[in-house]
Structure 1
């Protein structure tokens, strides 16, 4: 990929050539093209292109994690699925192989790519978070080279949390953390061994955010300007045109919290500042995760397309960091405001 194509690709990804050429922040999120059918997306930028993964299709290809690839982060192509069978520990944990695996999360440390994902069934918190690693992920062959590292952590009926929706954060001090959780008592955090990617023995679980049993899930952490930011999804997921998902955020001076919203309301007490909600054809935006590029911090999420009967589609956006340190997103691609 030559330098001109790289610059033009970033310009398109960020919403216009003006940004790449020094003309200011983008006025809208990029209009993506190609095969965008994905749910609970995670995106990783590599030297040879972009890889996206999402929740498996129910009852299709073993329900394993779906793969998408892109040369520029704008035009996407389907790249199949990750294996034909679910890891053996899933059946052992759940007593069955569920219709699909959920909510993958990609991250890198050195040359190693870590893929966390969830195994569960809808409405139950008998769940587990698994890990696969890849020593040299090739964006042109994203299904090759993965090694199953097994179960990272689990929850069971009677627990106050649900072990799904994982997202890893590596910090400048060399430590690593895993945020997770859905409904029940909300979002939790565990410290990881940064090399193995498994939980560090003897470390305590930390509560980050809760709505007292109401809908909160899909955590993602990113650090910026001396704060750690926690993005989450509120309200109803997975209902197509009836979805009410919306993206919320809070921040803390410490990875372990406490996280507060713009008004100073604790996320552990139901707080959260809205980043994006339904508008026009973009229904129920959520399942978000932050990923980083040389052009800036990006947010990927899915929405249910009102023009396609509620099909879940991929969207990405530059995160605009305000003078006050709070994140916002540009206008939606069709001109609707977030």
Structure 2
């Protein structure tokens, strides 16, 4: 998640607890991702130590203890000196009996960024087995060296079971790199792809992210296609936010990802999924999850009824002609 010029707004919003929306108790969140374990649903989002919520019905959410204690993980403080415990854009997956929680930490207005990963065998905080084990650094971007940004991670497996991590924001677009089978480090030899980008008017030496506003990739495999969801334009501005989600698809995980008109997302393409409507000024940074009752789309939207506060949005997906439509 980007907070360039608006980081204090985002932090203050994250300090708020629960908001009442349309009769349901919904958390105020940024960059949500959801998963099901048994009969419970768990929601992770940007926050101090990573915010965590639980629910039995996807409508009423209980705030759980944060994943990390204050000012943790300690290793990140050495690479990101400004880090005080606020962690961005988590991604949760279950593989081979373990939950893998990827997360991002970044300096203000720079691609001084890192992606880390922690694991747990259960999401039930009452279980004696509940314990997050942090595995540290997975990926790092350095200003002046890298033309990409190590934030907004998302783990995806291809049709052969090979793991990949897609990530990134602004700069030279969204990237994907093959992961080691351990899921804690990049595979060697390294394999990299650019999966989405927008035209930009700045160079690698620029500190600020510039005008190529695309971030938050999320890849979902369905009916023989890999669907790449991305967020265009700007978050974190409350009523002035312009976030919206676009999608493309590919038969191959490497791409190219094409929109409904056949334009590549590496060239700025994308079919609109969600954005501004009567309720929200903008909506973005999504995840897609397969639950016991179908596929669901989750994101946050800036609420017109609450001064632009970011609220959780959950919608069921209907696949029309192999394209996602939100109910």
TM-score w.r.t. the length of structure 1 is: 0.83
Match of 1:90 among 76, 85, 97: 76
Which one of 197, 207, 210 corresponds to residue 197 of structure 2?
A: 210
**For 1:258-288, what per-residue CA distance to the aligned partner results, in whole angstroms no more than 9, with x for missing partners?**
1111101111111011001101121211010
Q: Where do 1:33-48 residues align within 5 Å?
A: 33-48=24-39
2:272 is equivalent to residue 274 of structure 1:
yes
Alignment correspondent of 2:5: none
- Name the residue aligned to 2:44: 53
CA distance in structure 2 between the aligned counterparts of 1:233 and 1:303, rounded to whole angstroms:
12
For the structure 1 residues 268 and 32, does the alpha-carbon distance in structure 2 shift closer, same or farther, using more than 3 Å as the test?
farther
Distance 1:285 1:142 in 2: 38
User: In the alignment, does 2:165 pair up with 1:173?
Assistant: no
For 1:148, which of 130, 134, 150 is the aligned residue? 134
The 3 A distance-change label for structure 1 pair 146 and 220 is same
Contact persistence 2:288–2:297 (CA under 8 A):
yes
Map 1:1-338 to 2 at 5 A: 33-56=24-47, 63-82=48-67, 83-98=69-84, 100-138=86-124, 144-158=130-144, 159-213=146-200, 214-322=212-320, 324-330=321-327
Distance 2:28 2:106 in 1: 21
Q: Tell me the distance in 2 between the aligned counterparts of 1:169 and 1:268.
A: 19
For 1:81, what is the secondary structure of its paired residue? Answer: coil
The answer to whether the 8 Å contact 1:212/1:270 transfers is yes
SS in 1 for 2:305: coil
8 A Cα contact 1:174 1:194, kept in partner: no
Once the two structures are superposed, what CA deviation does each residue of 1:77-107 show, in whole Å capped at 9, x if it has no partner?
1113222232122111112324611000101
Cα shift at 1:171: 3.4
| Change in CA separation of 1:105 and 1:229 when aligned onto 2, cut-off 3 Å | same
Aligned length: 294
- Name the CA distance, whole Å, in 2 between partners of 1:33 and 1:245: 24
Tell me the secondary structure at the aligned position of residue 101 of structure 1.
strand
Question: Secondary structure of the equivalent of 2:239?
Answer: helix
Contact 2:83–2:106 (CA under 8 A) maintained in structure 1 = no
Structure 1: gaps (5+ residues)? 1-29, 57-62, 331-338
Displacement of 1:72 in angstroms is 1.7
Indicate the RMSD between aligned Cα atoms, in angstroms. Answer: 1.9
CA distance, structure 1, for counterparts of residue 23 and residue 259 of structure 2: 30
In structure 2, C-alpha distance between the alignment counterparts of 1:145 and 1:120, rounded to whole Å: 25
Aligned-residue offset at 1:139: 6.1
Look up the SS of the partner of 2:273 in the other structure. Answer: strand
User: For the residues of structure 2 that align with 1:48 and 1:139, how far apart are their CA atoms?
Assistant: 14
CA contact (8 A) 1:67 1:142 kept: no
| Conserved? CA contact 1:245–1:284, under 8 Å | yes
Q: Structure 1 CA distance, aligned partners of 2:46 and 2:123?
A: 19
Normalising by structure 2, we get a TM-score of 0.85
Indicate the SS of the match to 1:285: strand
